[in-house]
Structure 1
């Protein structure tokens, strides 16, 4: 075998070994799904205060979008405590 033939042979073996180490993984009952990043929120900077609640905690936000982006539910279309 000449130099070119042995080089091709060595590359072929290396390629087979590399491919043998690859495997496809699919999410299933025995494999947890990857965590998803939080959804980004693009809220306007308008001032239309609302009262939001999350787990019993009330908080005033500058607008409904900002409240929902933090996981709060809007319960009133005005600041909390008014």
Structure 2
């Protein structure tokens, strides 16, 4: 909060989802989806908005380090 104030950023804390049934169900669905993908199954990946779901495993050049030529994952 102090850093946000110093930078002039709006900051607001919110409650964590904890064990709310909707949150637990979302995590369950994600785990089942990942397990199906790892088994080689074709799965429909739901998403919000007009754009399709993006990749679920970063390609090798996905998150390049702008400060260094070192690989992002070593």
TM value normalised by structure 1? 0.27
Q: Could you say which structure has the greater relative contact order, defined with CA pairs below 8 angstroms and 6 or more residues apart?
A: 1
TM value normalised by structure 2? 0.29
Which has more strand, going by share of residues? 1
